[in-house]
Structure formats: structure tokens, C-alpha cells
Amino acid sequence: MDLLDNTVRPYAWGSPTAIPKLLGVEPSGEPQAEMWMGAHPGAPSRTARGTLVEVIDADPKAALGEEAVARFGPRLPFLLKILAAGAPLSLQVHPDLEQAREGYEDEERRGIPVDAPHRNYKDANHKPELICALTEFDGLCGFRAPEESAELLDGLGVDSLKPYVDALRAHPEDAALREVLTAILSADREEMARTVAEATAACRRLGGDYAPYADIAHHYPGDPGVIAAMLLNHVRLQPGEALFLGAGIPHAYLSGLGVEIMANSDNVLRCGLTPKHVDVPELLRVVRFEAGDAGVLRPEAAPDGEEVYETPIDEFRLSRYVLPDGAGAHDLALPTPQILLCTAGTVRVGEYDLTPGRSVFVPAAEKAEVSGAGTVFRATVIV
């Protein structure tokens, strides 16, 4: 078992206070967006034996288990994070596995450098992800019903939005959503900036259901993504609730602190709320134009006090234990690799006492018991 020393990424949208508050340390004044736990080559966790990448590479079967290696290869297939959004992240979608492989191979054939700003596919993997709220957490997830989006846009009283309102009301769901998102992202930038400015003023005046979009526009004035965001479900998670973001589902995190887990990939196609590259044709190839509920997840009870966030993929499985004071030890040994993360109280795992924000890597089949009073998240895989 290895105690992890993890890197905090200082992305501009990060909260300067949320992660330091969780860790019980003084803020640095800089944004602290994500703390990474895992073996991602960009910022692998460190252990007393070297980076987690080096620990796994030294003996993949011992670290990951034979079944996980056979299924996913000699690498940890997930990345666990603490995510602290102080400002909206980019509006984005992720490809499915086939789309990722096709896109990666195509860009490799065309000789686009993997670090080029206009490159879409950094690797050949998909990137399903799950976010579980530690505090109240705001986000956008999936398309609203077209009629609901039409009512929201119409209520702004902005003349230049009327063609979008009419299209949303005139066509079947798939065609309506596709036509309007395409029109928003393809519009003349100066004309769209004027439309966004008018819509922003209306959102500020109206408040209520429009307040989240006024805040988005405060961070991204004139961005087409402000209008695109109104096509999506706005959701406010309470602590312990979660969202699963599958392939092709447009989404954005707006504010709050959460535990996030994802397949090990960097493939992101952006729709807006960003100064980065937006590849509209490729984005439209990947987006699933289906309306539906945001799909808030609540943990399901499993044996021995475990609470599981069920998802339809195998690269990761996230669960938690909420341990009351005086509870006995729980046996957490598995034939698969685990990362255990404390988010509240103090829990003992093996020889380590974990306080909020501290984590350990448990190799496959290694003895692991957890006790104490607090909350511990468990990340592993399904084989």
C-alpha cells in the first residue's frame, strides 16, 4: 500500500479556496482547480517508491491484478480527481471509443502534432466521467427538450434569437437541436457577440432561471457558448449526488467541489465558453442530439456499508463509505487496484491515518481495512 502525494493543477477556472479548505491549509492566492490521483503521465501521483507510473511499470500484474491487465493493459485505466470549479469550465463533449480511435488515427496520418492547439484527439481512448458533489455543485448536462429551450430563449425578448426559437419549435427533436447548435456555433462572431450581450442584459434583469447564464456570461462575455448553454439542462447537485457523463453528452461544470473519476484520456471536443479551438464539424459528428433528464445519481447500498455509484462502463467504479464514530473495520481487499480517498473526518487504512484530501493506492489483492469516523471514496475497476 502506498501513501500518495498528489499534484494540484492551477487551471484558471479553479477555486482559490475550496481545495485548500478541504486539505486544511492556507490558500496560496492562486486558482487550485484539480488534484490528480493516479498514473496519468501528465501528473502521476508520487509514492515513497517513485511515481505511481513507475510502481505499476515495475510489476503490472502485482499492482493491477492479472484480470485488470488482461482487460485494460498494463496501466491504471482511470484517473481520480478532486475538482474545484470557481468559474465555469468549457462546454464540451467526449467521443466514444470508436470515434476516439478513428479520430486519433486520422490526425496521426495527417501528421498533426499531439500538442498542436487545433488537435482534437490526444489519444485513442474514450473519456466517460462521473462527478460526485462534496458541496452544492452546479453544472449543465445534456439537452433540454427543444420546447423548453425555445421558451427559455423566447423569454429573453431578443429579436436575433427568434430564428432559433422558431427552429426549436418547428422540427423533430434531433433535427431541431442539431440545426440550432450548428447555427449558434457557425454564426458571424461579431453578430453573435451582440446577441450574447443583449441576452446577457436580459438574463441579469430577469434573474431566477436565467441567473446561471448571466454568471456564465460574466466569465465569457460575447461567447456563443452562453446561448448554447441555454439548450442544456441546468442541474444543482447536493452533497453525495452525482452525474455520469457518457460519450456525446454536452456538459459543463459551473461551480462547486466534487470528486471526479474518468477513463484515462485527454480527448475533449469543445462547444464554447473557451478561448481554445472549437472544431464545429467534428463536434457535430460526436454530439448525441437527444433530449432528456440530466440523470442525477444517488449511491446504491451494497454489502458492508458500501454505497456505489452505478455506471455502464468498466474502466472505473466509484463508491464511498460513510463511517460513523465507533464503527468497526471494513475489509476492502479486492482482486483489482484501488485508490482510497478521505473527504471527511479521519479514517485509518492499513498503517495510514487519512485526513481530508489524503489518499492511498492499494495494489490488487493486498489486505486493506478501513476504520475510523469519516468518509472515504473507493475507486477501482470492473473486470
Q: Is 302 exposed, middle or buried (0-12, 13-18, 19+ CB in 10 A)?
A: exposed
* Long-range Cβ contact pairs of 352-359 (< 8 A, separation 24 or more): 352/1, 352/3, 355/24, 356/22, 356/23, 356/24, 357/19, 357/22, 357/23, 357/24, 357/35, 357/82, 358/3, 358/4, 359/3, 359/4, 359/6, 359/37, 359/45, 359/80
Grid-cell match 430563449, residue found = 153
> Is 270 considered catalytic here?
yes
Residue of 46, 75, 270, 317 marked active site: 270
Please state the φ and ψ torsions of residue 23, each to the nearest 5 degrees. -80, -15
Task: List residues bridging with 346 in a β-sheet.
Answer: 373
DSSP state of 38: E
First to last CA, the chain: 21
Where in the sequence numbering do the catalytic residues fall? Answer: 270
